[in-house]
Chain A
Amino acid sequence: MVSANEEVPTGESPTIVELSSDEVLRERNAAVLEAGAGRKADHLLEVRGLSTHFFTPDGVVQAVDDVDFEVGYGETLGLVGESGCGKSVTALSIARLVADPPGKIVSGSIQFDGIDVLKLSDVDMRKLRGKEIGFIFQDPLTSLNPTLTIGYQIGESIREHLGLSAKAARDRIIELLAKVGIPRPADRLNDYPHQFSGGMRQRVMIAIALSCDPKLILADEPTTALDVTIQAQILELIQRLSSEFQTAVLLITHDLGIAAGMCDRVNVMYAGRIVETGTVDTLFEDPRMPYAWGLLDSLPRIDDVRGDRLRTIEGLPPLLINVPDACRFNPRCSYARDRCRESEPQLTEREPGHSARCWATEPGGWIE
């Protein structure tokens, strides 16, 4: 491969082979992958202007629209929002797991540990998946292959990425199972997923996600499908393991309580957009836009008067086809004014580390 400045040895006058920027990036990516572990950038994950659209017979669904955020090394970032706001699709986009067709990442950039993810070849992308990026999916019953033993399924990533001997791999699998809290791991290696309870299955999924010591774990509603009593255990497990291995976690959830307990920072998503971001403290103490107020307000409180109605946000999220240039929350917002319908607010910083997207709460807006 000729680099941009090397002279081509031919009989004729040397020419400089101009490489496209894509190729340069690919080369650099390859070099980074080869070099292995280490911090290559300011943030582990930098997402800029990510847009993922679904091309359906009914129209183009703009599931994720111009989304920016970062995840620091070892940080736990929460992505919070209602069903359908685009948070799962965002996570899938990072690992390029969006089903194509009908989904497509139409624009934006994703930098992972200094590597431009969107420019990677398929082969190189696969080197990232499972090894540097681990995934925990929502429903462990359907996310595990029912016809393969859990030992095999955990070992798949190990065999694929780490090249360990059979014995070393087996030891590692047992070690992982023990770490995620599965009793008698050596005995249960050859069991099938249906022989485990829901909570145990999710622990297996966590073991799979952690198997190659990834830098980032994408956890998509990891406890939603579990009993409430088990939820706490699983969350605690994720938290403990991620700090032990210094793994960053992108935690996707619709449950504010979970986000508050687990995350360092939180991004609130609505209708494919990030509408507020901040640390857990600032966001929960002093949210700066009506949607966030509504979310926090809708949490039942222990000091609520019994018999009072629960507070909800009226209305439904919008359809994400042909979205006009306006605040997407405005039909449900009790503070909405004409400005909100005419153009969409930008995400602006209100205090260091805390941004919100709302005309009303901006300096000079109509809410204090």
Chain B
Amino acid sequence: MITYIGRRFLWIIPVLFVVSIITFSLMHAVPGGPWDREKKLPDATVARLNAKYGLDDPIYIQYVTWAGKFLQGDLGPSYRYIDRSVNDIVADGIWTTVQLGVMAFLLSVIVGIPLGIFAALGHNRGPDYLSTSISIVGIATPSFVLAMLLIVFFAVNLGWFPTGGWKGPQYWVLPTIALAGFPIAVIARYTRASMLEVTRKDFIRTAHSKGLSDQAVVSRHMIRNALIPVVTILGPTLAFLVTGSFIIETIFGIPGIGRFYVTAIGTRDYGLLMAMTMLYAFAVAFLNVVVDVLYAYIDPRIRYS
């Protein structure tokens, strides 16, 4: 078991390596450069800047230089925000982004799983229709539309929450809900389906044959077994939260690193771009391994084999 965990984590390294190569190549395949401005800079200036930042070296040298620095924790200079290093930029925003992601994840799980369980227990009756309706809204509404709706109703019309910024707890509510909408729906549906499937299993009949109350059968036998497959979608859920947070950050003006996502591509800020990609890729890969390990842990068939 330990070797399994260790191996999974070690595999992250080559994966990140390949990701970095692909991103680096693509990045430099994008026409234009970091010095493109509305008004074109004189060629001499551009040449000087390129030389200064080593952008006139062959690609593989540039990559090796970058990789070398990266492995030492130096994310390099930002090509756009000349006075700041990427390390600074990332340090400023990353905890905000992480916080938003964690809150949205917790909300998804805390709301989604019980919603699915109640839907299954009240199959084809009230709780099922309610939960399914919520799920439908969640999957049918893209996060940016949900964000817009939340802002219009709760921030503008009702004035309960601010429309943007990140200056205190009341700023956290709407963005978290907007980001968690889709995962809640997915988790609820999956949990419901899993519970319904577990209901048909033989060991549930055995549990009933022992004279256990319905409540005991549900809580001791059904929920445990139903949640095991649900863990498998936590991985993609986390990936969604990681990559989808940038849109929410942009709409709500949240000072995380997400807002640099698209702009870094637009401004050809190579340094920032590489850092962002590596961070996100690491987060996704790491979280996926954690989920897989969790899955292996909670299923005794895998844990003890």
Direct contact of A and B (CB under 8 A): yes
Q: B167 interface residue, CB < 8 Å from A? A: no
Given the known interface contacts A142-B202, A145-B225, A147-B228, the answer about A135 and B304 at a Cβ–Cβ threshold of 8 Å is: no
CB-CB contacts of A104-139 with B at 8 A, as 1s and 0s?
A: 000000000000000000000111111101110101
Q: How far is the CB of A257 from chain B (nearest CB, A)?
A: 26
Q: How far is the CB of B53 from chain A (nearest CB, A)?
A: 57
Total A-B pairs in contact (CB under 8 Å)? 79
How distant is the Cα of A125 from the Cα of B211 in the complex, in angstroms? 8
A144 contacts across to B, CB distance below 8 A: 203, 206
Name the residue of chain A whose CB is nearest to the CB of B227. A147
> What is the total number of residues of chain B having a CB less than 8 Å from a CB of chain A?
24
B300 partner, pick from A137, A143, A194, beta carbons under 8 A: A194
Would you list which residues of chain B between 197 and 236 have a CB under 8 Å from chain A? 201-203, 205-213, 216, 220-221, 224-225, 228
B304 partner, pick from A97, A192, A205, A208, beta carbons under 8 A: A192
In the complex the two chains form, is A146's CB within 8 Å of B225's CB?
Answer: yes
In the complex the two chains form, is A130's CB within 8 Å of B300's CB?
Answer: no
Q: Is the interface of B mostly helix, strand, loop or mixed?
A: helix
Q: A343 interface residue, CB < 8 Å from B? A: no
Q: B92 interface residue, CB < 8 Å from A? A: no
B205 contacts across to A, CB distance below 8 A: 97, 137, 143
CB-CB contacts of B171-214 with A at 8 A, as 1s and 0s?
A: 00000000000000000000000000000011101111111110
CB-CB contacts of B30-50 with A at 8 A, as 1s and 0s?
A: 000000000000000000000
Q: B72 interface residue, CB < 8 Å from A? A: no
B221 contacts across to A, CB distance below 8 A: 145, 148
B228 contacts across to A, CB distance below 8 A: 147
Interface-lining segment among A154-162, A175-183, A295-303, A360-368: A154-162
Q: A195 interface residue, CB < 8 Å from B? A: yes
A157 partner, pick from B211, B213, B300, B304, beta carbons under 8 A: B211
Q: B57 interface residue, CB < 8 Å from A? A: no
B300 contacts across to A, CB distance below 8 A: 146-147, 192, 194
Q: B301 interface residue, CB < 8 Å from A? A: yes
Q: A275 interface residue, CB < 8 Å from B? A: no
Q: A248 interface residue, CB < 8 Å from B? A: no
A130 contacts across to B, CB distance below 8 A: 209-212
How distant is the Cα of A143 from the Cα of B200 in the complex, in angstroms? 11
CB-CB contacts of A170-189 with B at 8 A, as 1s and 0s?
A: 00000000000000000000
Given the known interface contacts A145-B225, A192-B304, A195-B304, the answer about A128 and B211 at a Cβ–Cβ threshold of 8 Å is: yes
Q: B305 interface residue, CB < 8 Å from A? A: yes
A95 contacts across to B, CB distance below 8 A: 209
B298 contacts across to A, CB distance below 8 A: 147
Q: How far is the CB of A88 from chain B (nearest CB, A)?
A: 11
How distant is the Cα of A43 from the Cα of B145 in the complex, in angstroms? 70
Q: B299 interface residue, CB < 8 Å from A? A: yes
Name the residue of chain A whose CB is nearest to the CB of B222. A145
In the complex the two chains form, is A157's CB within 8 Å of B203's CB?
Answer: no
A139 partner, pick from B202, B208, B299, beta carbons under 8 A: B202
B304 contacts across to A, CB distance below 8 A: 191-192, 194-195
How distant is the Cα of A139 from the Cα of B212 in the complex, in angstroms? 20
A208 partner, pick from B201, B208, B210, B299, beta carbons under 8 A: B210
B305 contacts across to A, CB distance below 8 A: 194
In the complex the two chains form, is B202's CB within 8 Å of A143's CB?
Answer: yes
Given the known interface contacts A147-B228, A147-B299, the answer about A126 and B206 at a Cβ–Cβ threshold of 8 Å is: no
In the complex the two chains form, is A208's CB within 8 Å of B206's CB?
Answer: yes
Name the residue of chain A whose CB is nearest to the CB of B204. A145
In the complex the two chains form, is A97's CB within 8 Å of B209's CB?
Answer: yes
A125 contacts across to B, CB distance below 8 A: 211
Given the known interface contacts A192-B300, A194-B300, A194-B301, the answer about A148 and B220 at a Cβ–Cβ threshold of 8 Å is: yes
How distant is the Cα of A40 from the Cα of B138 in the complex, in angstroms? 59
Name the residue of chain B whose CB is nearest to the CB of A158. B210
B209 contacts across to A, CB distance below 8 A: 95, 97, 129-130, 133-135, 137
Which of A142, A145, A157 gathers the greatest number of chain B CB atoms within 10 Å? A145
Name the residue of chain A whose CB is nearest to the CB of B303. A192
A131 contacts across to B, CB distance below 8 A: 211
A208 contacts across to B, CB distance below 8 A: 206, 210
B213 contacts across to A, CB distance below 8 A: 126
Name the residue of chain B whose CB is nearest to the CB of A152. B220
How distant is the Cα of A137 from the Cα of B204 in the complex, in angstroms? 12
How distant is the Cα of A163 from the Cα of B292 in the complex, in angstroms? 40
Given the known interface contacts A144-B206, A147-B299, A194-B301, the answer about A156 and B212 at a Cβ–Cβ threshold of 8 Å is: yes
How distant is the Cα of A145 from the Cα of B222 in the complex, in angstroms? 9
Name the residue of chain B whose CB is nearest to the CB of A132. B211
In the complex the two chains form, is B210's CB within 8 Å of A129's CB?
Answer: yes
Q: How far is the CB of A243 from chain B (nearest CB, A)?
A: 23
Q: How far is the CB of B200 from chain A (nearest CB, A)?
A: 9
Q: How far is the CB of A295 from chain B (nearest CB, A)?
A: 28
In the complex the two chains form, is B211's CB within 8 Å of A135's CB?
Answer: no
How distant is the Cα of A256 from the Cα of B97 in the complex, in angstroms? 69
Q: How far is the CB of A176 from chain B (nearest CB, A)?
A: 14
Q: How far is the CB of B62 from chain A (nearest CB, A)?
A: 52
Q: How far is the CB of A124 from chain B (nearest CB, A)?
A: 10
Q: How far is the CB of A208 from chain B (nearest CB, A)?
A: 7
How distant is the Cα of A135 from the Cα of B205 in the complex, in angstroms? 10
How distant is the Cα of A280 from the Cα of B150 in the complex, in angstroms? 75
In the complex the two chains form, is B202's CB within 8 Å of A97's CB?
Answer: no
Name the residue of chain A whose CB is nearest to the CB of B302. A194
Of the A-B pairs whose beta carbons lie under 8 Å apart in the complex, a sample of 7, sorted by A's number, is: A95-B209, A135-B206, A143-B202, A143-B206, A156-B212, A160-B216, A205-B206
A147-B225, A208-B210 are known contacts; what are 12 more A-B pairs with Cβ within 8 Å? A95-B209, A97-B205, A97-B208, A128-B211, A129-B208, A137-B202, A137-B206, A146-B300, A146-B301, A148-B220, A148-B224, A194-B301
On B, residues with C-beta under 8 Å from A are: 201-203, 205-213, 216, 220-221, 224-225, 228, 298-301, 304-305
Q: Sort A-B residue pairs by CB-CB distance and give the 6 closest, nearest first.
A: A130-B211, A129-B211, A130-B210, A135-B209, A142-B202, A126-B211
